Amino acid sequence: MDLALNEDQRSFAQLTREFLEREVVPHRAEWDRREQVDRALVGKMGELGLLGLTIPEEYGGIGGDLLTYALTMEELGRADSAARGIVSVSNGLVGTSIVNYGSEEQKQQWLPRIASGQSLGCFGLTEPDTGSDAANLRMRAVRDGDGYVLDGQKIFITNGTWADVALVFARTGGEGPKGVSAFLVPTDTPGFEAREIKGKLGLRGQATAELFLSGVRLPSSARLGDEGEGFKIAMSSLDKGRISVAAGCVGIVQGCLEATVAYAKERRQFGRPIASFQMVQDLIADMSVDADAARLLVWRAADLYVRGEAYGVAASKAKYFASEAAVRAANNAIQVYGGYGYVDEYPVQKYMRDARVMTLYEGTSQIQKLLIGRAETGVSAFL
């Protein structure tokens, strides 16, 4: 067992941290208040290679391995989870799906643009009535000549109002997962509308939207993969996406730990720094252990993927533990900061608000437990 990172992995993680300290950390509070990340950040992240991390070099990416991607997601989560979501969805969910299932024409059309930041992708799976029950989505894609007509609605779609292409999942056949197909929908297609969702608890700078598709006409060449493969594509994407979310949560825990240690050394009560108080060290110790444990779960899942072994359950374990650990760490950080932790002059309240949704999207904590329980017992508890 070798847990050492290679030089390329260490260098890219350090490069990413330096970039984020310069381009994101000084602005994250302002972006959070105005509920919008500066759009110029997308191009800058593209130039650095963040948006093409897992895209092959022949399509304009840098062809990084999944562990390098996870390290980068950790740094993004530490800096600002709203920025992490932009990368995780456009590169991790949409770009990777095109790499794995796209035709050569689709790869040539979209991957170089996604890798450079010229175009962003969004992942249109969740619907108002189908969140965890994704196999029973209602959006329909009806055959019309040599193409399809799509009608329906999606909700809570990251990058929804910024995206140039939406990877949309719609029902082309009967009920259940085998009736779902995937489509690459240019967002300027007539009948496509995105409405931004404001007033979120966390990830406020991230462009989250409802999508409305009314009579959207697409050629057959817009379908990603074969008809009926949509659910498989979605679940495959979400398995890797859970590693990304978990890594981002490690970043939240690490950010809380670093901020809390620095504050505890400076803040004085009863004539001495609060870092010398036993109960403060108790909270800090919990954060430190959670950071290491969550990080190792992420690395294990990424390593399994790189070695071509089954990694879905490991991804669920990483996502479950890391997302819950992020909430614990943010809560502990606010406790150490006291009243100051409750105002947005300090980062820990934002970590708390951003962390809370991590236990919900890309599979709730309860769904992850069911997946883990099924793997252990061989019995499905979903029905």
Instruction: Round to whole Å and give the CA distance between 81 and 362.
Output: 15
Task: For the beta carbon of residue 366, count every other beta carbon within 10 angstroms.
Answer: 12
Whether 74 contacts 247, CB under 8 Å:
yes
Q: Which of 143, 92, 59 is nearest to 315 (CA)?
A: 92
Q: Which of 106, 90, 109, 93 is nearest to 46 (CA)?
A: 90
105 annotated active-site: no
Spell out where the chain has E strands: 121-124, 140-144, 147-158, 165-171, 180-186, 192-196, 208-219, 223-224, 268-269, 272-273
Instruction: Round to whole Å and give the CA distance between 110 and 97.
Output: 11
Catalytic residue among 35, 75, 210, 362: 362
At 132, is the secondary structure helix, strand, or coil? coil
Q: Which tokens sit at 63? A: 């062809």
Instruction: Round to whole Å and give the CA distance between 359 and 330.
Output: 13
Residues in the chain: 383
**Which run of H or of E encompasses 248?**
helix 230-266
- Dihedral sign for Cα 358, 348, 82, 322, please: negative
Exposure of 361 in the CB half-sphere (CA atoms within 13 A): 25
Beta bridge partners of 69: none
Exposure of 371 in the CB half-sphere (CA atoms within 13 A): 22
At 124, is the secondary structure helix, strand, or coil? strand
Residues marked as catalytic: 362
